[in-house]
Chains A and B, each alone.
Chain A
Amino acid sequence: MAVLTRGAYADAGTSLDFKTGNWRSTDMPAHVHAAAPCHAACPAGEDQQAWFALLQQHDPKGAWCELVSANPLPAITGRVCPHPCETACNRAALEGALAIHNVERWLGDQAVAQGWAYPVAPPAVDAPVVAIVGAGPAGLSAAYHCLRQGLRAEIFEALPEAGGLLRSGIPATRLPRDVLDAELARLLALPGITLNLRARLGRDVTLEGLRASHAAVLLGPGCQEGKEWSVRGAVPTDLHEGLALLRKFMDVGAFPPGDRVVVHGGGNTAMDLCRLMKRAGAAQVTLVTASGLPGPDTDPSDRINVVPRELEEALEEGIEIIPHASINRLIMKGSKVTGVEIVSLRKFTGKDGHSERVSFGGTERVLPVDLVIPCVGERVSPEGLEAVIQGGYLAPEDIWGRLPQDGVFAVGDARGDRGTVAQAIGDGRRAAMAAAAMIAGTGAPPLAERPTIPASALNPVYYPPSRRTLVPVLPVAERGFETEIEGDIGTAAAMAEAARCLSCGNCLACDNCWTFCPDNAVIKTAELARDGSHYVFDLDYCKGCGLCAQECPTGYIQMLPETL
Chain B
Amino acid sequence: MTDDTRLSALRQKFGRPPAAPDEPATKAATATEAATEAATARTRQPRFEGLVSGHRACQGCGEALAARLVMEASGPDVMVANATGCLEVFTTPWPQSAWRVPWIHSLFENAPAVASGMEAAMKAKGRNTKVLAFGGDGGTYDIGFQALSGMLERYHNILYICYDNEAYMNTGVQRSSSTPHAAATTTSPAGKDRMGKRHLKKDLLSIIAAHHIPYAASASVAFPQDLQRKVRYAMGIEGPTFIVVHSPCPLGWKHASALTIEVARRAVECGLFPLVELERGSLSNIMPIRHLRPVTDYLQLQGRFSHLFDKDDPRAERERDHLQALADYNIAAFGLAGEGGDDAADTGGHAAVGRGGPIAGRV
Q: Is B46 an interface residue (CB 8 A)?
A: yes
Q: What is the CA–CA distance of A553 and B19 in the complex, to the nearest angstrom?
A: 24
- A-side contacts of B265, CB under 8 Å: 461
**Contact across chains for B256 and A510 when beta carbons are under 8 A apart:** no
Known contacts: A516-B65, A520-B68. The answer to whether A546 contacts B258 by CB under 8 A is yes
**Contact across chains for A537 and B22 when beta carbons are under 8 A apart:** no
**Contact across chains for B53 and A69 when beta carbons are under 8 A apart:** no
**Contact across chains for A550 and B353 when beta carbons are under 8 A apart:** no
**Would you give the 0/1 interface string for B57-81, flagging 1 where the beta carbon is closer than 8 Å to chain A?**
1111110110011000000000000
For the complex formed, measure the closest distance between the CB of A149 and the CB atoms of chain B, giving whole angstroms.
Answer: 11
**Would you give the 0/1 interface string for A529-564, flagging 1 where the beta carbon is closer than 8 Å to chain B?**
111100011111101111101110100000100001
Q: What is the CA–CA distance of A520 and B20 in the complex, to the nearest angstrom?
A: 33
Known contacts: A511-B357, A547-B260, A550-B261. The answer to whether A527 contacts B14 by CB under 8 A is yes
Q: What is the CA–CA distance of A140 and B351 in the complex, to the nearest angstrom?
A: 46
**Contact across chains for A20 and B53 when beta carbons are under 8 A apart:** yes
Q: Is B335 an interface residue (CB 8 A)?
A: no
Q: Which chain A residues (1-46) contact chain B, with CB distance < 8 Å?
A: 2, 10-20, 23, 33, 39, 45-46
Known contacts: A12-B96, A518-B60. The answer to whether A464 contacts B42 by CB under 8 A is no
Q: What is the CA–CA distance of A399 and B23 in the complex, to the nearest angstrom?
A: 18
- Identity of the chain A residue whose Cβ is nearest the Cβ of B63 in the assembled complex: A518
Q: Which chain B residues (19-64) contact chain A, with CB distance < 8 Å?
A: 19-26, 29-31, 34-35, 37-39, 41-42, 44-46, 49, 51-62, 64
**Contact across chains for B21 and A50 when beta carbons are under 8 A apart:** yes
**Contact across chains for A39 and B21 when beta carbons are under 8 A apart:** yes
Q: What is the CA–CA distance of A461 and B51 in the complex, to the nearest angstrom?
A: 28
Known contacts: A15-B91, A529-B15. The answer to whether A520 contacts B53 by CB under 8 A is yes
- B-side contacts of A206, CB under 8 Å: none
- B-side contacts of A20, CB under 8 Å: 53-56
- B-side contacts of A549, CB under 8 Å: 258
Q: What is the CA–CA distance of A509 and B61 in the complex, to the nearest angstrom?
A: 24
**Contact across chains for A13 and B97 when beta carbons are under 8 A apart:** yes
**Contact across chains for B60 and A547 when beta carbons are under 8 A apart:** yes
- Identity of the chain A residue whose Cβ is nearest the Cβ of B43 in the assembled complex: A523
- B-side contacts of A56, CB under 8 Å: 354-355
Q: Is B259 an interface residue (CB 8 A)?
A: yes
- B-side contacts of A551, CB under 8 Å: 261-262
Q: What is the CA–CA distance of A538 and B39 in the complex, to the nearest angstrom?
A: 8
Known contacts: A17-B96, A509-B357, A510-B354. The answer to whether A519 contacts B64 by CB under 8 A is yes
Q: What is the CA–CA distance of A70 and B22 in the complex, to the nearest angstrom?
A: 10
For the complex formed, measure the closest distance between the CB of A115 and the CB atoms of chain B, giving whole angstroms.
Answer: 22
Choose one: A13, A16, A462; the contact of B95 (CB below 8 Å).
A13
Residue among B18, B38, B94, B260 with max Cβ neighbours from chain A (10 Å) = B38
**Contact across chains for B96 and A15 when beta carbons are under 8 A apart:** yes
Q: Is A504 an interface residue (CB 8 A)?
A: no
Choose one: A57, A433, A503, A524; the contact of B22 (CB below 8 Å).
A433
- A-side contacts of B20, CB under 8 Å: 69-70
- Identity of the chain A residue whose Cβ is nearest the Cβ of B46 in the assembled complex: A524
Q: Which chain A residues (199-225) contact chain B, with CB distance < 8 Å?
A: none
Q: What is the CA–CA distance of A445 and B22 in the complex, to the nearest angstrom?
A: 9
Known contacts: A45-B21, A70-B20. The answer to whether A519 contacts B351 by CB under 8 A is no
Known contacts: A20-B56, A520-B49. The answer to whether A527 contacts B96 by CB under 8 A is no
**Contact across chains for B355 and A532 when beta carbons are under 8 A apart:** no
Choose one: A45, A523, A543; the contact of B59 (CB below 8 Å).
A543
Q: Is B356 an interface residue (CB 8 A)?
A: yes
Q: What is the CA–CA distance of A69 and B17 in the complex, to the nearest angstrom?
A: 14
- A-side contacts of B261, CB under 8 Å: 516, 547, 550-551
**Contact across chains for B61 and A525 when beta carbons are under 8 A apart:** no
Choose one: A446, A462, A539; the contact of B34 (CB below 8 Å).
A539
**Contact across chains for A446 and B96 when beta carbons are under 8 A apart:** no
For the complex formed, measure the closest distance between the CB of B301 and the CB atoms of chain A, giving whole angstroms.
Answer: 12
- Identity of the chain A residue whose Cβ is nearest the Cβ of B355 in the assembled complex: A56
Q: What is the CA–CA distance of A515 and B34 in the complex, to the nearest angstrom?
A: 20
Q: What is the CA–CA distance of A113 and B61 in the complex, to the nearest angstrom?
A: 55
Q: Is A94 an interface residue (CB 8 A)?
A: no
Known contacts: A530-B15, A547-B60, A549-B258. The answer to whether A464 contacts B349 by CB under 8 A is yes
Known contacts: A20-B56, A520-B52, A539-B35. The answer to whether A515 contacts B224 by CB under 8 A is yes
Q: Is A499 an interface residue (CB 8 A)?
A: yes
Q: What is the CA–CA distance of A418 and B35 in the complex, to the nearest angstrom?
A: 49
- A-side contacts of B262, CB under 8 Å: 550-551
Q: What is the CA–CA distance of A509 and B357 in the complex, to the nearest angstrom?
A: 6
- A-side contacts of B321, CB under 8 Å: none
Q: What is the CA–CA distance of A510 and B225 in the complex, to the nearest angstrom?
A: 13
**Contact across chains for A518 and B64 when beta carbons are under 8 A apart:** yes
Known contacts: A550-B258, A551-B261. The answer to whether A525 contacts B357 by CB under 8 A is no
Q: Is A253 an interface residue (CB 8 A)?
A: no
Q: What is the CA–CA distance of A509 and B52 in the complex, to the nearest angstrom?
A: 22
For the complex formed, measure the closest distance between the CB of A516 and the CB atoms of chain B, giving whole angstroms.
Answer: 6
Q: Is A104 an interface residue (CB 8 A)?
A: no
Q: What is the CA–CA distance of A475 and B55 in the complex, to the nearest angstrom?
A: 66
- Identity of the chain B residue whose Cβ is nearest the Cβ of A69 in the assembled complex: B20
**Contact across chains for B54 and A528 when beta carbons are under 8 A apart:** no
**Contact across chains for B21 and A448 when beta carbons are under 8 A apart:** yes
Residue among A461, A503, A518 with max Cβ neighbours from chain B (10 Å) = A518
Residue among B20, B30, B61 with max Cβ neighbours from chain A (10 Å) = B20
Choose one: B13, B38, B64, B94; the contact of A536 (CB below 8 Å).
B38
Q: Is B150 an interface residue (CB 8 A)?
A: no
**Contact across chains for A499 and B354 when beta carbons are under 8 A apart:** yes
Known contacts: A462-B352, A523-B41, A528-B15. The answer to whether A70 contacts B35 by CB under 8 A is no
Choose one: A23, A53, A464, A525; the contact of B41 (CB below 8 Å).
A525
Choose one: B14, B60, B68, B359; the contact of A545 (CB below 8 Å).
B60
**Contact across chains for B34 and A536 when beta carbons are under 8 A apart:** yes
Q: What is the CA–CA distance of A550 and B257 in the complex, to the nearest angstrom?
A: 10
**Contact across chains for A510 and B55 when beta carbons are under 8 A apart:** no
**Would you give the 0/1 interface string for B164-189, flagging 1 where the beta carbon is closer than 8 Å to chain A?**
00000000000000000000000000
Q: Is A328 an interface residue (CB 8 A)?
A: no
Q: Is A512 an interface residue (CB 8 A)?
A: yes
Known contacts: A70-B21, A445-B22, A547-B260. The answer to whether A526 contacts B44 by CB under 8 A is yes
Q: Is B98 an interface residue (CB 8 A)?
A: yes
- A-side contacts of B68, CB under 8 Å: 518, 520
- Identity of the chain B residue whose Cβ is nearest the Cβ of A466 in the assembled complex: B342
Q: Is B237 an interface residue (CB 8 A)?
A: no
Q: What is the CA–CA distance of A549 and B256 in the complex, to the nearest angstrom?
A: 13
- Identity of the chain B residue whose Cβ is nearest the Cβ of A526 in the assembled complex: B44
Q: What is the CA–CA distance of A461 and B268 in the complex, to the nearest angstrom?
A: 14
- B-side contacts of A2, CB under 8 Å: 95
Q: What is the CA–CA distance of A518 and B51 in the complex, to the nearest angstrom?
A: 10
**Contact across chains for B353 and A462 when beta carbons are under 8 A apart:** yes
* Interchain residue pairs with CB less than 8 A apart (23): A12-B96, A15-B54, A16-B52, A16-B53, A39-B21, A69-B19, A446-B24, A462-B353, A510-B357, A511-B357, A515-B69, A518-B57, A520-B51, A523-B42, A525-B14, A528-B15, A530-B15, A539-B35, A539-B38, A540-B39, A547-B60, A550-B261, A553-B353
Extra contacts, 19 of them, besides A461-B351, A539-B38 (Cβ < 8 A), are A12-B97, A18-B56, A46-B21, A446-B22, A448-B24, A503-B355, A508-B353, A518-B61, A518-B68, A523-B42, A529-B14, A530-B14, A538-B38, A538-B53, A540-B53, A545-B257, A550-B261, A551-B262, A564-B31
A-B interface, 3 closest residue pairs, ranked by CB to CB distance from nearest:
A532-B17, A546-B258, A15-B54
Interface residues of A, Cβ cutoff 8 Å to B: 2, 10-20, 23, 33, 39, 45-47, 50, 53, 56-57, 69-70, 433, 445-446, 448, 461-465, 499, 503, 508-512, 515-521, 523-532, 536-541, 543-547, 549-551, 553, 559, 564
